[in-house]
Amino acid sequence: MTAAAMDGEPPAGTAGTGTDLAKPPVNEPREPEQFLMQTPQGNPLLLSHTLQELLSKDSVQVELIPEKKGLFLKHVEYEVSSKRFKCSVYRRYNDFVVFHEMLLQKFPYRMVPALPPKRMLGADREFIESRRRALKRFINLVARHPPFSEDVLLKLFLSFSGSDVQNKLRELVQGVGDEFLTCKLATQAKDFLPSDIQAQFAASRELIRNIYNSFYKLRDRAERIASRAIDNASDLLIFGKELSALGSDTTPLPSWAALNNSTWGTLKQALKGLSVEFALLADKAVQQGKQEENDVVEKLNLFLDLLQSYKDLCERHEKGVLHKHQRALHKYSMMKKQMMSATVQNKEPESVEQLESRIVEQENAILTMELRNYFSLYCLHQETQLIHIYLPLTSHILGAFVNSQIQGHKEMSKVWNELKPKLSCLFMGSSNMPTPPLSPPEGNFFSN
């Protein structure tokens, strides 16, 4: 079912029909202001978004569709349904890869979440499901990121149903330039940055690294809790089946035990009927485990993906624009030394003029690198704010965990309480009177 169908509205198109669904104006020029985040008046550096506003931008579903056989190998396709654009499209993993590459090319100074790994030979269903979940987290983070959510790249990826989506994505980026060239505030970024931006950047990076490490451990524990619930379900189901098998045993009763024939028959009948309740208990445990996987583990993974994209962005800043700026300065210093040497040695005027021209070009390159460095810090400042806007997601996650535990224990407790009266016949003596108590006295089984 498409997102439109779930909303009770007619879909804008059908996936895989070969026609465009609300096709974005690929060649329509865009004003630089459209790339700006929502900011308070007078201060473009500060963001005014709330978590609810970000989450309500879109909700994208990514579902597996039946595998199709390629020429040599099977390939997996996904149905991607956007609530915002009210349509569904088919996408392959390589479509996500190109989309990811174009986002990085156009927004090198923003948090672009990483993609899950490419499929390996012999990949099993568990890997495919894990990758589907990761792709869903990726596209939802992108669809809710302020600059990305208003960009034509996202609209095309979520609504274009033609067969050449990868080429269309590349065409949108070709010749446009990155965000530094399209944002009208790029060259003024330094004016909006606090004087201690470097210290703030270092402190924020350390804080987010610590938050990431803590959430990583929380996610691992949440996975183990959910896994134990599913393992518990399997054990309960097997426990019930074994009781049923014991109650269904048809082995003749030995003659020396014939006096207890009626007792054993009653016990077998009671044991056989208990498997239904244990199957129900197993089903409740599975439901709890699955709910915790979806509502707790996946939300933790979503936040971890966001935090990891911030860490990757910090690394790109240091190894990218900052490193290039330092190299440009070093090159400029070497040119100045060459110029001084040429002047001292009275070299030909033509060679001196060429060197002067190269120095001017290098000065312009350094200026551009400096502007890019400040714009990168400007974007980092805003991305840091986005991380903090997402932090209240923690209360959503904890609430989902607590509710799951309460609901799960409540439902299982109800089944256990319904099961308890059915055990009474297991303690009936030959006089058809109950043999109390249900629990043996302490030391009864182990006294000498």
Measured CA to CA, the distance from residue 18 to residue 41 in angstroms comes to 44
Peptide bond into 147 cis (omega under 30): no
Q: Are 155 and 103 in contact (CB under 8 A)?
A: no
SS (H, E, C) 339-394: HHHHHHCCCCHHHHHHHHHHHHHHHHHHHHHHHHHHHHHHHHHHHHHHHHHHCCHH
Residue of 104, 63, 60, 52 whose CA lies nearest to 83 = 60
Report percent pLDDT > 90 for the chain. Answer: 54
Model confidence at 418: pLDDT above 60 = yes
Report percent pLDDT > 70 for the chain. Answer: 72
Q: Are 62 and 136 in contact (CB under 8 A)?
A: yes
Model confidence at 247: pLDDT above 50 = yes
pLDDT of 295-354, one tens digit each? 999 999 999 999 999 999 999 888 876 656 566 555 556 655 555 565 555 555 556 666
Model confidence at 134: pLDDT above 70 = yes
Residue of 92, 96, 98 whose CA lies nearest to 75 = 92
Measured CA to CA, the distance from residue 239 to residue 232 in angstroms comes to 10
Q: Are 323 and 447 in contact (CB under 8 A)?
A: no
Q: Are 88 and 11 in contact (CB under 8 A)?
A: yes
Instruction: Out of 79-93, 140-154, 261-275, 332-346, pick the least confident.
Output: 332-346
Q: Which residues pair with 90 in a beta bridge?
A: 79
User: Which string of b and e fits 230-253 if b means at least 16 CB within 10 Å?
Assistant: bebbeebbeebeebbeebeeeeee
Q: If you average pLDDT over residues 351-379, what whole number do you get? A: 77
Measured CA to CA, the distance from residue 381 to residue 395 in angstroms comes to 24
Model confidence at 442: pLDDT above 60 = no
Measured CA to CA, the distance from residue 135 to residue 128 in angstroms comes to 10
Please count the helices (runs of H) and the strands (runs of E) in the chain.
15, 3
pLDDT of 251-306, one tens digit each? 777 766 656 566 777 777 778 878 888 999 999 999 999 999 999 999 999 999 99
Model confidence at 25: pLDDT above 60 = no
- Written as one letter, the residue type at 166 is Q
Q: What pLDDT does 125 receive?
A: 84
158: three-class secondary structure by DSSP: helix
Q: What pLDDT does 387 receive?
A: 96
- Beta strand spans in 275-330 (E): none
Tokens 């060649």 map to which residue? Answer: 27
Residue of 271, 282, 277, 278 whose CA lies nearest to 243 = 271
Give how far Cα 213 sits from Cα of 206, 217, 277, 307, 385, Å: 11, 6, 42, 10, 19
Q: If you average pLDDT over residues 367-378, what whole number do you get? A: 89
Phi-psi region of 346 (alpha: psi -120 to 50; beta: other; left: phi over 0): left
Q: What pLDDT does 267 receive?
A: 79
Instruction: Give pTM, 2 decimals.
Output: 0.78
317: three-class secondary structure by DSSP: helix
Q: Are 142 and 113 in contact (CB under 8 A)?
A: yes
Measured CA to CA, the distance from residue 159 to residue 22 in angstroms comes to 6
Instruction: Out of 199-203, 217-221, 369-373, 390-394, pick the least confident.
Output: 369-373
The DSSP annotation for 42-80 comes to T-TTS----HHHHHTS--EEEEEEEEEE-SSSEEEEEEE
Q: What pLDDT does 350 receive?
A: 55
Tokens 């931006």 map to which residue? Answer: 197
Q: Are 26 and 168 in contact (CB under 8 A)?
A: yes
Q: If you average pLDDT over residues 383-412, what whole number do you get? A: 95
Q: What pLDDT does 321 receive?
A: 62
Q: If you average pLDDT over residues 383-387, what whole number do you get? A: 96
Instruction: Among 1-10, 178-187, 207-216, 412-421, name the most confident range.
Output: 207-216
Q: What pLDDT does 9 receive?
A: 42
Choose between 324 and 228: higher pLDDT. 228
385 CB-side CA count, 13 A: 19
